[in-house]
Chains A and B, each alone.
Chain A
Amino acid sequence: DVKVTQSSRYLVKRTGEKVFLECVQDMDHENMFWYRQDPGLGLRLIYFSYDVKMKEKGDIPEGYSVSREKKERFSLILESASTNQTSMYLCASSSTVTSGGALADTQYFGPGTRLTVL
């Protein structure tokens, strides 16, 4: 089974803090994604990565950065957290090939991190 884990289920931070959200996948997937999900807005792509040390901006990258130093790990960084970054953050991974029970082109999601910025 594909497993995508996220470092925390719930996180409370203060305005101005630097926040790290970690995501790890165990399927050797080359693609990894960070989304945020807000009521009425659905899922919006923040950043994605299609290889180690490669990253591309999604639809809403402002206020965020990412790091992918190893293939299995993709980190989302909030440089200076603000209240409007309170949200559910979802990480996903995918591959272009079908392997080990994981289908090609399908995204596998972690359980999510609900971040509250006070």
Chain B
Amino acid sequence: SQQGEEDPQALSIQEGENATMNCSYKTSINNLQWYRQNSGRGLVHLILIRSNEREKHSGRLRVTLDTSKKSSSLLITASRAADTASYFCATERRGSNYKLTFGKGTLLTVNP
């Protein structure tokens, strides 16, 4: 079964609005990562948050991690049409030796 499950599956917003995506997982992790994929392309790493961290920022991105609830959220502020993409969370489970388990992704559409 998938370790990471993103919610919602699809999200449509207007330019300038904030977008929030959530990820839940089942087992203990070393870290959780968010990736972005433009249609038909490879994935691009956005941000990594380790299990002992609660919040991390990178530009317009803010990631939170709640290990007690086994959940994470990705917030994109002041969205742009160029943010339109699929967003995946991926978890490195404890003892998994560098392997990541990906969720099925959230498709974000930002309308101009």
Measuring CB to CB, which residues of chain A are less than 8 angstroms from any residue of chain B? 4, 31, 33, 35, 40-43, 45, 48, 50, 58, 88, 90, 92, 94, 96, 103, 105-112, 114
The answer to whether B102 and A106 touch across the interface, beta carbons within 8 angstroms, is no
Known: A42-B102, A105-B48. A110 touches B97 (CB 8 A): no
In the complex, the answer to whether A42 meets B103 with C-beta atoms within 8 Å is yes
Main secondary structure of the interface of A (DSSP, over half): strand
- Report if B104 contacts A (CB, 8 A): yes
Give the distance to chain A from B47, nearest Cβ to Cβ, in Å.
9
CA–CA, A112 and B48, complex, Å: 22
CB <8 Å contact, B99 and A106 = no
Which residues of B come within 8 Å of A, CB atoms? 2, 30-31, 33, 35, 40-45, 48, 88, 90, 92, 97-105
* B102 x A43 contact (CB < 8 A): yes
A107-B100 Cα distance, complex, nearest whole Å: 9
B31, B88, B98, B99: the one within 8 Å of A96 (CB): B98
Return 9 A-B CB contacts under 8 Å, by A number.
A31-B98, A35-B102, A42-B2, A42-B102, A43-B43, A50-B98, A58-B99, A88-B40, A109-B43
Q: Which residue of B lies closest to A90 (CB)?
A: B42
Known: A88-B40, A106-B33. 10 other contacts (CB 8 A): A41-B104, A42-B105, A43-B43, A43-B88, A92-B43, A96-B98, A105-B30, A105-B33, A105-B92, A105-B98
| Chain A residues within 8 Å of B45, by CB | 103, 106-108
Asked if residues A48 and B92 are in contact (CB atoms below 8 Å), the reply is no
Residue of chain B at shortest CB distance from A48: B99
Residues of A within 8 A of B99 (CB): 33, 45, 48, 58
Alpha-carbon separation in the docked complex, A111 to B92 (Å): 22
Give complex CA distance A105, B48 in Å.
Answer: 9
- Complex Cα gap A94–B101 (Å): 14
The answer to whether B98 touches A112, judged by C-beta atoms less than 8 angstroms apart, is no
| A103 in complex: contacting residue of B30, B48, B102, CB < 8 Å | B48
